[in-house]
Structure 1
Amino acid sequence: MSNLQPRPVLGEPARYTFPKPQRVKAGGGTVVAIDIPGQPYVAVRLVQTAGGAGEPLEHMGVATLVNEVLEDGFDGNSSLAPALERYGAEWVSRIGWDSFITGVDAPANRIKDAVSLFAAAVRTPALRTEDVVRRRDQLVERFWLEASVASTLAARTIGGQLFTGRYATPLSGGPVHQQELTPETVRRFHADNIASVAGTLVVVGDLTGVDLEEIGRTVFGDAAPAPQRRTVAPEGAPGELPRVVVLDRPGSVQSAIVLAHRAPARAEVDLPKVEGMSDVLGGMFTSRLNMELRERLGYTYGVGCRFDLRRDSGVFVISTQVEAPTTAHSVTATLEQIRKLQDEGVTESELNAVRESNTVGMPVSYATAGRLAGALVESVVHDLPEDHVDRLRAGFDRLTADDLRDSAREYLHPQEAVVIVAGDAESLRGPLEETGVGPVTVRDPETLWT
């Protein structure tokens, strides 16, 4: 006789509520904090607006280089990491189009010392000439190394096909622009945009006994409040749409495919509707594209799509890698799945999957100090309300099948897309022309950023 007990009946998942942050003014900046009793590690993030989008065209990539050089610390020669390690702390940094993020993760009982080191690294780094040159050369070498991967090569080509101006060049500035950056340019950018601008400080963890105003004063010093940000939509790139661009990789047995078109800015979309629709198309394992290209046709190990939503604009991207002979059909099959979603909408099963994947897992998604800090950083970068996570959850709860169908019709524009294929041009050009998607041009990857 079996001794197995009956499986317990699952109850309703707990409704997640994002913790309410507290705000403290300190000097020219603001501290935004969440107290998590018992969380022994504190996440500290300084949010500044010196992202890639605001760089002057003659100094493209300087924000990325400054972000890298800060790791050399106030004594230079990669001195920051070992200095932080004495307090069990770790440096964190990230550069984006709209933001310049630096920070530390540190034990709560050593947070004051770790923040002092962090402040010195951000406000008064050494920025030695030899460190700047070394980091610059590493960035250039890394750029070409990463661009040797077909999927990265295709992704980095998107900006130049959809935009003019700063977005036409990769965030790092590309190898030519990076090589032109001088140590003096780096020092000037740091002085004008990092050292002298307070920003917003995010602090998350067990804050028992932590003086937030003191931490804020330590990080902000006498820096001025951040200037008002201007948002201007970028101009589009010239050329007929839709079109196909082949990045020639002679002899390649696989093709990396990217289908991309412009999208609205973050503030201009209803995020649950946009992300829910994107999940149905290519954001989940059970998505339409994955079921078609991977499960039914067997062309790829995986395919995905996403919206990259910035303050002034956005990009919608579908990406995959397939066997070279299946490239043309992969493109037409992808376009067919977009058409079906727009014409037929979603099933009740797909709607439920979207709701669950974006709500049930929230307690896990925000279980760490770093994840909570990330949500606060997003709210600062995009000027979102403090309860934006709760609003997102409520938005996903309210989603209907009609919402997702309407979103597909409003935000998916394959007729305005560029299809970028990194692969063997000799074998791919003919089949791609036969698809009738648009005119096909072939580019040598070596000439893209020179």
Structure 2
Amino acid sequence: MTRPVMASRPVLGPPEPYTFPAVRRSSVGAGDVIAVDLPGQAFASVRLVHPAGAFTESEDQYGVAMLTGDALEDGQEGNGSLAPALERHGAEWESWVGWDSFVTGVDVPVNRIVDATRLLADALRSPAFRSDDIVRRRDQIREAFVLECSVPSSLAARAVGSQLFAGRYAVPANGGPKRLDAVDPEMVVDFHRRQLANVAGTLIVVGDLGKVDVEGLARSVFGDTVRAQPPSPAPVRGAEGAQPRIVVLDRPGSVQSALVLAHRAPSRAEADLPAAYGVGDVIGGMFGSRLNLLLREEKGYTYGAGARFDLRRNGGQFTASCQVETRHTADAVASSVAEIVRLREGGVTDDELATVRESRTVGLPVNYSKVWSVANVLIDIEVQGLPDDHIDRLRAGFDALTAEKMLDGAREYLRPDELVAVVVGDAEQVAGPLAEIGLGPVSQVDPDALWS
């Protein structure tokens, strides 16, 4: 049978406008509830958010929040008992600790949401916290961190904080091996008691909620807890050292170097997000970005180069990264800096502007087609104090971007004079050529001393 051949391709129409779904807020007891009803979505995401992120940790307990989050998965009976209990309801446990928040939750079929949410509440409020389980989890986090840092690109990425910041941001969220070893089971129990056990938090529920008693779910989670206290603004201090400068982490005999160029950036609340994110896209956030085209396509140094802004509640950072052959290390650093300067001085092209606007708006219906992706936006809104129509405002901001706004953003948010280049590679081969490019002084740092 011969299939008919189309005489011409169909003509694509303009993309449909996207509006983020309506957000419903309420208070139940000492807690707050954020709900989004998505008719037809038979799967639901339930998230409980506490303002107990890694940034709130005291200096002698770096890593306690992440360890507590991992230990919760051992459940009320210990030894990983939570996952099998949730599986009986087709549910999966979700938990992570960021700089600004402590998040727990479940993804579950809507028709089993009551039972799964009750298990979430039980796991969070009254975990077993057996000492041997906590020690096992601590060992796993430490071993995973050490293994990750055996990869040059991961080591470079994790070393950046220590070169940009003093204080909490200087140390990875998990505390790093040495500090994490000092966190004992009693510290975990105490952190849980103060920050989670009797603190309500904010419950986020997303899915087809037509037959769901959301307030009833909240009552089962909040019980007789007390209201969470908003985090106090905390100053962020910069690391000492010349700017710009180059830091080499020696990896003798390495045939490649992992590079990260970074500088401090404003907090989430201080930044013009469309301009900042747009600048990040142009310099390294897309396949057609300037750094990728230069270092991959033109020079053939790397399989890929990227850049991004990480904007947090108490400050942020800009990073650009790639991996290159050892002999190209110095030129890759110099070329990357020159490209950042060129964007800052000359702005974007019309094609780059159009690509940023399209990439940040056309895909929104797909980006937020899943319940968990909508829930993640609501977490961001809650943690960062953003308006409920944040996504719509962000979309409008990208639609309104101009070349002039992008140039202003590049000059505001790209700071080549403050760059720190972290290079993981063979110091004997790369230190000399790096000194010759004139970016700044070159020093060598012992990786084992980074997070002590």
Q: Normalization by structure 2: what TM-score?
A: 0.98
What is aligned with 2:150? Answer: 148
What is aligned with 1:230? Answer: 232
What is aligned with 2:401? Answer: 399
Question: Offset of 1:263 from its aligned partner?
Answer: 0.5
What is aligned with 2:243? Answer: 241
Q: Using the alignment, how far apart are the partners of 1:75 and 1:213 within structure 2?
A: 28
Q: Using the alignment, how far apart are the partners of 2:436 and 2:283 within structure 1?
A: 25
What is aligned with 1:356? Answer: 358
Q: Using the alignment, how far apart are the partners of 1:146 and 1:444 within structure 2?
A: 17
Question: Offset of 1:378 from its aligned partner?
Answer: 0.5
Q: Using the alignment, how far apart are the partners of 1:410 and 1:376 within structure 2?
A: 28
Give SS of 1:359's match: coil
Q: 2:76 aligns with which of 66, 74, 77?
A: 74
What is aligned with 1:428? Answer: 430
Q: Using the alignment, how far apart are the partners of 1:221 and 1:249 within structure 2?
A: 53
Q: Using the alignment, how far apart are the partners of 2:136 and 2:243 within structure 1?
A: 41
Structure 2 residues without counterparts, runs of 5 or longer: none
Q: 2:49 aligns with which of 44, 47, 52?
A: 47
Structure 1 residues without counterparts, runs of 5 or longer: none
Q: CA RMSD in A?
A: 1.1
Question: Offset of 1:4 from its aligned partner?
Answer: 2.6
What is aligned with 1:284? Answer: 286
Q: Is the 8 A contact 1:244 1:418 kept in 2?
A: yes
Q: 1:332 aligns with which of 331, 334, 348?
A: 334
Give SS of 2:284's match: helix
Question: Offset of 1:282 from its aligned partner?
Answer: 0.5
Q: 1:294-334: per-residue Cα shift (whole Å, max 9, x none)?
A: 00000011111111111111111111111111010000100
Q: Using the alignment, how far apart are the partners of 1:286 and 1:209 within structure 2?
A: 46
Question: Offset of 1:232 from its aligned partner?
Answer: 2.2
After superposing the two structures, state which structure 1 stretch, 135-144 or 391-400, moved more. Answer: 135-144
- Does residue 1:120 correspond to 2:119, yes or no? no
One-letter amino acid of the counterpart of residue 291, structure 1: L
Q: Normalization by structure 1: what TM-score?
A: 0.99
What is aligned with 1:4? Answer: 6
- Aligned runs of 1:33-182 on 2, under 5 Å? 33-182=35-184
Q: Is the 8 A contact 2:162 2:451 kept in 1?
A: no
Q: Using the alignment, how far apart are the partners of 1:241 and 1:75 within structure 2?
A: 52
Q: Using the alignment, how far apart are the partners of 1:267 and 1:407 within structure 2?
A: 15
Give SS of 1:375's match: helix
Q: 1:177-235: per-residue Cα shift (whole Å, max 9, x none)?
A: 11111111100000100112111111000112111111011111111111022112311
Q: Using the alignment, how far apart are the partners of 1:167 and 1:335 within structure 2?
A: 24
Q: Using the alignment, how far apart are the partners of 1:30 and 1:62 within structure 2?
A: 25
- Aligned runs of 1:433-448 on 2, under 5 Å? 433-448=435-450
What is aligned with 1:22? Answer: 24
Percent sequence identity over matched residues?
56
Q: Is the 8 A contact 1:245 1:440 kept in 2?
A: yes
Q: Using the alignment, how far apart are the partners of 2:175 and 2:446 within structure 1?
A: 19
Q: Is the 8 A contact 1:51 1:100 kept in 2?
A: yes
What is aligned with 2:296? Answer: 294
After superposing the two structures, state which structure 1 stretch, 81-90 or 219-228, moved more. Answer: 219-228
Paired residues in the alignment total: 450
Q: Is the 8 A contact 1:24 1:212 kept in 2?
A: no
Q: 1:372 aligns with which of 367, 371, 374?
A: 374
What is aligned with 1:256? Answer: 258
One-letter amino acid of the counterpart of residue 72, structure 2: L
After superposing the two structures, state which structure 1 stretch, 435-444 or 383-392, moved more. Answer: 435-444
Q: 1:274 aligns with which of 261, 273, 276?
A: 276
Question: Offset of 1:168 from its aligned partner?
Answer: 1.2
Change (3 A) 1:449 1:228: closer
Q: Using the alignment, how far apart are the partners of 2:449 and 2:385 within structure 1?
A: 38
One-letter amino acid of the counterpart of residue 261, structure 2: L
Q: 1:329-370: per-residue Cα shift (whole Å, max 9, x none)?
A: 000100111111112111111110000000000000000101
Q: Using the alignment, how far apart are the partners of 1:448 and 1:36 within structure 2?
A: 46
Q: 2:198 aligns with which of 170, 176, 196?
A: 196
Q: Using the alignment, how far apart are the partners of 2:413 and 2:357 within structure 1?
A: 19
